[in-house]
Chain A
Amino acid sequence: DAKTTQPPSMDCAEGRAANLPCNHSTISGNEYVYWYRQIHSQGPQYIIHGLKNNETNEMASLIITEDRKSSTLILPHATLRDTAVYYCIVRAVNFGNEKLTFGTGTRLTIIP
């Protein structure tokens, strides 16, 4: 699996857009980019994923560069409840025979 690099921590003002970068320069053509977050000691929460195109759902938007070597997770209007550790994971689809490798992630703090 491709390795990912994320900044260890970021702050964002409440109500502003939070933009979380992820570098995955060794990504292969069949590898998806997944984003999860973990709030306190809760289970990791799936946010969004994509292969090539930009994606948007009710939680966030995912922007993947044309060369696929990096991506950005955008939380459009951050709230205090978005304070969490965010993980960017790159994983090839392999008929479910897979483990997700969670790195150290980005600790996002939303400032009131």
Chain B
Amino acid sequence: DAGITQSPRHKVTETGTPVTLRCHQTENHRYMYWYRQDPGHGLRLIHYSYGVKDTDKGEVSDGYSVSRSKTEDFLLTLESATSSQTSVYFCAIKSSRDGQPQHFGDGTRLSIL
């Protein structure tokens, strides 16, 4: 299995609080991604990173920010959580080699009350 660790695995918090999710990899892969998965929507890309300090927006980036200060860590922050951000969040990593697939972590289940 790809060396990806997401933390925390589960979190319950209140509306308006800041939340940070962490994705840690041991593969030294260049590319990292944050997705959310909701019933009826499949997986949707939030943000991705193509190197240290290099990030870009995905299709559902509003309300989220990311940071990547080291190759191995990609942080997703909800500055002021809302109930619509209740979801399962998945991190993925990918090698820069041509055609290689993304590999996913086990996910973080986030509930915002």
Task: Identify whether the interface residues of A are mostly helix, strand, loop, or mixed.
Answer: loop
Instruction: Report which residue of A41, A42, A43, A99 has the largest number of chain B beta carbons within 10 angstroms of its beta carbon.
Output: A43
Query: Which residues of chain B from 32 to 78 have a CB within 8 Å of any chain A CB?
Result: 33, 35, 42-43, 45, 48, 50, 56, 58-59
Contact A43 B31 (CB under 8 A): no
Q: Give the total of A residues in contact with B, Cβ under 8 Å.
A: 21
B45 touching A43, Cβ below 8 Å? no
A42→B58 CA distance, assembly (Å): 22
Chain B: residues with Cβ within 8 Å of the partner, total of 27
Q: Does A44 contact B (CB under 8 A)?
A: yes
Q: Tell me, in angstroms, the Cα distance from A99 to B42 when the chains sit together.
A: 12
* Residues A43 and B98 in contact, CB atoms below 8 Å apart: no
Main secondary structure of the interface of B (DSSP, over half): strand
A-side contacts of B58, CB under 8 Å: 99
> With the chains together, A45 CA to B102 CA distance in Å?
9
Q: A43-B90, A46-B101, A46-B102 are in contact. Are A102 and B107 (CB under 8 A)?
A: no
A binding-site residues for B, Cβ under 8 Å: 32, 34, 36, 41-46, 49, 51, 93, 95-97, 99-104
Q: Please give the residue numbers on chain B whose beta carbons come within 8 Å of chain A beta carbons, in ascending order.
A: 30-31, 33, 35, 42-43, 45, 48, 50, 56, 58-59, 88, 90, 92, 94, 96, 98-99, 101-107, 109
